[in-house]
Structure 1
Amino acid sequence: MNGKPRIAVLVTLALLLSGCVTNVVADKRMRFGLATAAYDAGDFPRAYEIWSALADEDDLAAMRNTAQMLRQGKGVKKDVGKAFDLYKEAAEKGFVTAMANVAEMYLSGEGTEKDTKEAVVWYARAATAGLSLAQVKLADMYEQGIGVERDPVRARALLERAARNGYGPARTRLEAMGAPVAGTPAPTPADANPDEAWPHSGRLPDAPRTGRSSPGMPMRTGAASTMTAGDLTLMNNGFAHYAANNKAAAFATWRAVAERGNAEAQLRVGLLYESGEGVGQDMIEAYRWLKLAAVQGQPQAVEAFRLVFTSMAPAERAIAESLAKNPNTHTKNDP
């Protein structure tokens, strides 16, 4: 077979595969729509049957809705333990509303052992992803010192972020504090109610975070030549830990190098704080470390810092700026 027929065969196969994928997605959306219609009509057993089948196919929204029905006993025997497990699976695979459900159950001890620190972790993940309700819940925990050391400044910063998203309850709270937020409140996707069924089919797990650098990416060309032998060894140890999925060890190893002013290590510490890998998710710490790397000209840090900067409220930036002045400062949120 010469080149042209071979290319034609490959193109044909690609088109056929593309059509198969399109048909699978369309079928899932159709089935999800049938479940939503059944749920809205009060036919909970039928809705549960369809959503649970889709959950087995890794549709995260269906997984989360199945958990919701198990938790409430709608269309199926109530099972809060199984509900928690499904919520957590969807949350760990990136479904934001499920993160808030996991946090809520940790906070109340429903379906799992009560753990206020884990509640903080999961509300923080949902808050960072933009869920305004989670931002307000996390603000409450910082305000009251539940699961975390009391920090009214961070609480207010979280309320400001939610209010900027157009979340009415956050705006009302700020106005009651004498701190009105500019702009007109408007419904946004961040207003999603964790107590309601999700109306649309969810993405498959492991979708890439577009525009985000990975802590495990290779160091930039020439970076190794500027390091001491000891720091280079530690950096490589950190990469080995990260590749072995021991994110906590990677964080601790890179943090030691970052405190000595190394931009490559500072970048990775910032990225780990941003994603919550190996350490509690903390956007203020992410800002701090990414800025330290960015001012040294680390190119990936410059872009990562820009993304974090634009996601933060002014009060959060003020806290982070004060921390960025000293890379050796350990905060109460450090491990």
Structure 2
Amino acid sequence: MTLEEWIELAEQGDTDAQFTLSEIYRTGNGTAQDGAQAARWCLAAAEGGHPDAQFTLGDMYAVGAGVAQDYELATRWYRAAAIQGHAEAEYKLGTALEHGYGTAANFKEAADWYRKASEQGLGPAQFNLAVMLERSDWHDPDLEGAAQWYRAAADQGRADGQYALSRMHRTGQGRPQDFYEAARLCRMAADQGYSPAEGSMGDLYQNGTGVDQDYAEAVGWYQKAADHGNVGAQFYLGILKLNGLGTDQDINGAVNWLETAADQGLPIAQLNLGMLYELGNLVPQNFEKAVAWYRKAADLGDPDAQNSLATLYSSGRGVKQDAPVAVRWFRMAAEQGNAMAQLNLALRYARGEGIKQDMPEAYYWFGCAAALGNPEGKRHLETAERIMSADDIATGRALLERKPPPPGPKTVVKTLGAR
């Protein structure tokens, strides 16, 4: 049909013709592109109840194509199409409701619309529904339900679904723990260039989880993920290059990758750079750089960096000596369950260094360090019990009963050692 014939039908109120004419103007297929005409005819078809037109008009309002951008109108038209069973509209309405675009956020209704689209086989909706079912901020998590929909998305070849299902098999949450299945699914996602999966393949090969340990394979996968901007992969690639695992030792390359990760705000990379410059065994020793990197990680709440920064303030290396500031950083780390910081804080209380001497407080922090298995904390606690007064010991024990020791970190990543 010619453009004139489509126009004639559209002017007679034929909604299919109106939508087709809108698409002709929108794409420029057979005539010059004209956003305003595309929007005009799409609106006519949408008002006539054409679900594809309603969905497309929603997209137009969402991005401001041929009309002024208006999320509220976008959501309104998505809803009109969704009510008629349009799968993509159901998905986009779910997205709007989940994130509060053009409407009040409503997690339950969002999940309901995702489910409708998922049952029609729409992969993005299946993945989003699984994510919502796994979350705990709006209802009790349904891990088995999440796994079901991740599987549906994975079976359509979606890398994000494959990776999420791999994660569940790796952790044993929602699926039976199966490291081999986890590795298989992760590889499928990684082969599609999905950066999180590429990084995880590096982890699996580095640790020998579900695959034979192979540092060279780990380096290869970390390199792929690092090149795609995966900050965790950048860190581990730097560590493997630093230690010559799976590749020739390359100090400069290692530092470059660690700095790339650190500049993106990864505290463990910042911490390790601080340790590199403080120790000076692989790079020229530079306490000022050590302080700078420790401070970045410490400001982000890393307790190891806080303890290391405090130690440098205490000794005056790379920064002006400042005992009270050292105590402040020791306390931050100690309250997060860092045993070395607890020991260091206890010693400052015992000596009155940077803070008023307080033997019961020293006893308390020695006790905290000892409870976390720190041998020096245990030794100092035993010494304190021999030399402290009975009253001070009683006060210290009361503190331990009233304020149980902060728990230690659940996981500790160390690559260069720490004090």
Tell me the TM-score normalised to structure 1 length. Answer: 0.52
Partner residue of 1:192?
412
Q: Which moved more, 1:169-178 or 1:51-60?
A: 169-178
Q: Could you tell me how far 1:161 is from its partner in structure 2?
A: 0.5
- Work out which of the residue numbers 135, 140, 163 in structure 1 matches 2:334: 163
Partner residue of 1:279?
none
Q: What is the CA–CA distance in structure 2 between the aligned matches of 1:66 and 1:21, rounded to whole Å? A: 30
Are the equivalent residues in 2 in contact too, given 1:99–1:126 (CA < 8 A)? yes
Paired residue secondary structure (2:277): helix
- Work out which of the residue numbers 317, 326, 343 in structure 2 matches 1:172: 343
Partner residue of 2:42?
2
Are the equivalent residues in 2 in contact too, given 1:143–1:152 (CA < 8 A)? yes
Q: Could you tell me how far 1:18 is from its partner in structure 2?
A: 5.6
Q: What pairs up with 1:63-142 in 2 under 5 angstroms? A: 63-109=234-280, 112-142=283-313
Q: Which moved more, 1:32-41 or 1:91-100?
A: 32-41
Q: What is the CA–CA distance in structure 1 between the aligned matches of 2:125 and 2:238, rounded to whole Å? A: 32
- Work out which of the residue numbers 175, 183, 200 in structure 1 matches 2:404: 183
Amino acid at match of 2:333: A
User: Could you say what the CA RMSD is over the residues aligned between the two structures, in angstroms?
Assistant: 2.8
After superposition, the Cα gap between the structure-2 partners of 1:183 and 1:127, relative to the gap in structure 1 and judged at 3 Å, is: farther
After superposition, the Cα gap between the structure-2 partners of 1:39 and 1:155, relative to the gap in structure 1 and judged at 3 Å, is: same
- Work out which of the residue numbers 202, 213, 220 in structure 2 matches 1:35: 202
Are the equivalent residues in 2 in contact too, given 1:70–1:83 (CA < 8 A)? yes
Q: Could you tell me how far 1:128 is from its partner in structure 2?
A: 1.0
Are the equivalent residues in 1 in contact too, given 2:278–2:287 (CA < 8 A)? yes
Are the equivalent residues in 1 in contact too, given 2:234–2:261 (CA < 8 A)? yes
Query: CA offsets per residue over residues 244-292 of structure 1, 9 Å max, x none?
Result: xxxxxxxxxxxxxxxxxxxxxxxxxxxxxxxxxxxxxxxxxxxxxxxxx
Amino acid at match of 2:404: G
Identity %, equivalent residues: 21
Are the equivalent residues in 1 in contact too, given 2:334–2:342 (CA < 8 A)? yes
Q: Could you tell me how far 1:35 is from its partner in structure 2?
A: 2.1
Paired residue secondary structure (2:197): helix
Amino acid at match of 2:258: Y
After superposition, the Cα gap between the structure-2 partners of 1:43 and 1:148, relative to the gap in structure 1 and judged at 3 Å, is: same
Are the equivalent residues in 2 in contact too, given 1:116–1:146 (CA < 8 A)? yes
Query: CA offsets per residue over residues 119-146 of structure 1, 9 Å max, x none?
Result: 1111011011111110111011001000
Q: What is the CA–CA distance in structure 2 between the aligned matches of 1:140 and 1:84, rounded to whole Å? A: 23
After superposition, the Cα gap between the structure-2 partners of 1:110 and 1:186, relative to the gap in structure 1 and judged at 3 Å, is: same
After superposition, the Cα gap between the structure-2 partners of 1:39 and 1:153, relative to the gap in structure 1 and judged at 3 Å, is: same
Amino acid at match of 1:59: N
Are the equivalent residues in 1 in contact too, given 2:196–2:225 (CA < 8 A)? no
After superposition, the Cα gap between the structure-2 partners of 1:129 and 1:151, relative to the gap in structure 1 and judged at 3 Å, is: same
Q: What is the CA–CA distance in structure 1 between the aligned matches of 2:55 and 2:313, rounded to whole Å? A: 61
Partner residue of 1:145?
316
Q: Which moved more, 1:119-128 or 1:4-13?
A: 4-13
Query: CA offsets per residue over residues 152-202 of structure 1, 9 Å max, x none?
Result: 11111111111111112212232343433543231336x632418xxxxxx
Are the equivalent residues in 1 in contact too, given 2:226–2:233 (CA < 8 A)? yes
Q: What pairs up with 1:207-218 in 2 under 5 angstroms? A: none
How many correspondences in the alignment?
195
Paired residue secondary structure (2:265): coil
Structure 1 residue runs of 5 or longer lacking an equivalent are: 197-335
Q: Could you tell me how far 1:112 is from its partner in structure 2?
A: 4.7
Q: Which moved more, 1:52-61 or 1:16-25?
A: 16-25
Partner residue of 2:356?
none
Q: Could you tell me how far 1:114 is from its partner in structure 2?
A: 3.4
Tell me the TM-score normalised to structure 2 length. Answer: 0.42
After superposition, the Cα gap between the structure-2 partners of 1:21 and 1:161, relative to the gap in structure 1 and judged at 3 Å, is: same
Are the equivalent residues in 2 in contact too, given 1:117–1:148 (CA < 8 A)? yes
Which structure has the higher relative contact order (CA within 8 Å, separation 6+)? 1
